[in-house]
Amino acid sequence: MKHKTIRGYIRYTSKKPERLDKERGREFFTITTQSDAKVVMQAHCEIDDAPNVVRDVVLAMEKDGTPLDCSVRLSVGNQFEGSGWFRITPSYAECEMINRSDGRISQKIEVTTPVRWLQAHPIVGDGILMKAYDISKGPGKQVLKDFMLTSPDHRGATGPLLFKMTKMSIEYIGEEEITIAAGTFKARHFAVGDTAGSLLEEHPPYHVWVTADEDYLFLKANAAGYMQTHYELESVEYFN
């Protein structure tokens, strides 16, 4: 099988009344499915809201999204914040990191069940995260565990450092056709919630739409609550 690459651009906007539909960031990404069925996601993320965030992520995973290894480098407020390398195995997760405030840190966390997802905070990764829902069971809500993050901050603006979540839920609402800046797509609609007690601060309700195919390509998302943000795929190219 020849490798396949998807390349695209996601626009971040605000839904707050005083900033309605104003651009607040952007993301450029590639997702490559290799001939051995491993998937490598690369993402360059920019958040303009102060303190601004610039993050670069390379995450390798199995086709179902199970993480293998990852690198993260980020700047916050125009200053280097940290750089980290992560490796995930069936029995442990490890990280080697240097951070502006904490210096050099090594981590190793033993696990009894495989880590299902490593959330490194690119928005395009939120689409791949939906693979953790067992779609064969149809619409409904599934409580999921065994996730890790590279930062417990909602903007991913700390660390990078391994942070283990205790639980979250993904609700599958169903299929629908949506039209966005990048075109018209048959989509699967999901909602993420039930993060109370798992994160330092509960994440506001978050709805995500992905392509209704094996790629689970991110199409759009809305975060409610104090965030009031919108994310939308502006352009996409496929290379086979």
Reading the chain (240 residues) residue by residue, the pLDDT tens digits are 689 999 999 999 999 999 999 999 999 999 999 999 999 999 999 999 999 999 999 999 999 999 999 999 999 999 999 999 999 999 999 999 999 988 999 999 999 988 999 999 999 999 999 999 999 999 999 988 888 999 988 899 999 999 988 778 999 999 999 999 999 999 999 999 876 444 545 567 899 999 999 999 999 999 988 789 999 999 999 998
- Closest by CA to 124, choosing from 199, 208, 16, 184, is 208
CB 6 within 8 A of CB 233: no
Q: Where are the domains of the chain?
A: 4-235
Structure tokens at 198: 């798992």
Give the pLDDT confidence score for residue 201 in this predicted structure: 55
Give the pLDDT confidence score for residue 202 in this predicted structure: 58
Give the pLDDT confidence score for residue 197 in this predicted structure: 47
Structure tokens at 80: 């280097």
* pTM (global) more than 0.85: yes
